[in-house]
Amino acid sequence: MTTYTDLKRGVKQGNIRPLYLLYGDEAFLVQEAVDLLINAVVDPGARDFNLETVYCRNTPASEIVNLCQTLPFMAERRLVIAREIEALKAAGIEELLVYLRDPSPSTCLVMIANQSRYEKRQVVAAAEACGVVTRFYPLLDRDMLSWIEDRARSRGLTIQRDAAQYLWQTIGNDLQAASSELQKTVLSLADRKTITLDDVMAVVGDFRGYASFDLADALGRKDRQQALVVLNRLLQEGEQAVVLLGSVAWNFRRLVRAKSMEAAGTGYEEIKKKLNVIFHQAASFRDQMRSYSLSELERVFAVLLATDRRLKSSGLSGRLVLERMVLELCGVQ
């Protein structure tokens, strides 16, 4: 398995392989890799002759093989992009495997599966033997700021950290949307080379949607600033304070179970499995486990109980009660 970083490095160094197998959950990065290969392999003036895109759902394997065995027209290589490779039936896979085991050196075949995990082991093994296999994972929260900064840098620009933070908090982890909004911001700069917070705010607006899990996640990491941002947005969107408190309590109960298992010697991979922590939440949940000791979690439930009582009997607004809870849980008394 080759990482996307290594794939990009190889292509930029001119090390074009005859086979590429791309799959995973992050379609934006998959397409970015395809665009990178198109630009590296095929001259723009010859794309009508040396670039073919087919969809395996509607294309027999024999036709894909014929395209791959066609010689390039006045060029070193041709590029064949085979999308929906997961749609090939057993007979088609066997036919394709004959080619994959001895691919044409003058063709770059890019196979794309619209799956988080591609399970055809013979295809994977053949692609690894003669080329590159890359799985594309969604970016984690902790990687988004670096991705935005790198995206700006690739355009010869710098983006201030608070501007990158605002873009991420507004757009979320949707790379397509983040890239689009960043591009619109770039167009507004004129001749300037630095993207400021004001630049991003003027273009992007404020439309990220949050869920109650985002509040629980921020509190689990003791991220007071993010928790207050999410809380206020959710309340503006009509979420009920009692419902939000329930989500927060559920997550902390899960943290107690995780910390108890950890104390008993259970490894994190097993904890994830037993608690059904999905991939997108795995890194964040581990950070949450590091943020609290078992003794601190005991205090958390005292705060949650007091919050529940205030919501039901104090007469204070739900916003004020939950904001007080955020400050207490994140260490500000």
- pLDDT, one tens digit per residue, over 15-55 is 999 999 999 989 999 999 999 999 999 988 888 899 999 99
Residue percentage of the chain with pLDDT more than 70: 97
Q: What is the pLDDT of residues 255-307, one digit of tens each?
A: 999 999 999 999 988 998 888 887 667 788 888 999 999 889 989 999 999 99
- What is the set of domains in the chain, with CATH numbers? 4-136 (3.40.50.300), 141-204 (1.10.8.60), 237-329 (1.20.272.10)
pLDDT score for 208? 63
Q: What is the pLDDT of residues 133-174, one digit of tens each?
A: 999 988 888 889 999 999 999 889 999 998 998 888 788 888
Q: What is the pLDDT of residues 185-230, one digit of tens each?
A: 988 888 899 999 889 888 887 556 678 888 999 999 999 888 888 8
- Rounded CA gap, 235 and 101, in Å? 58
Q: What is the pLDDT of residues 83-141, one digit of tens each?
A: 999 999 999 999 999 999 999 999 999 999 998 889 899 999 999 999 999 999 888 88
Q: Which residue has the tokens 């109960």?
A: 253
Answer yes or no: are the C-beta atoms of 124 and 118 closer than 8 Å: yes
Q: What are the backbone angles phi and psi of residue 19, rounded to the nearest 5°?
A: -135, 140
The pTM (predicted TM-score) of the whole model is 0.65
DSSP-derived secondary structure letter, 26: -
Tokens linked to 105 = 């050196």
- Rounded CA gap, 132 and 7, in Å? 7
- Rounded CA gap, 194 and 188, in Å? 11
Average pLDDT over residues 67-91: 93
* C-alpha 17, offset from chain centre: 26
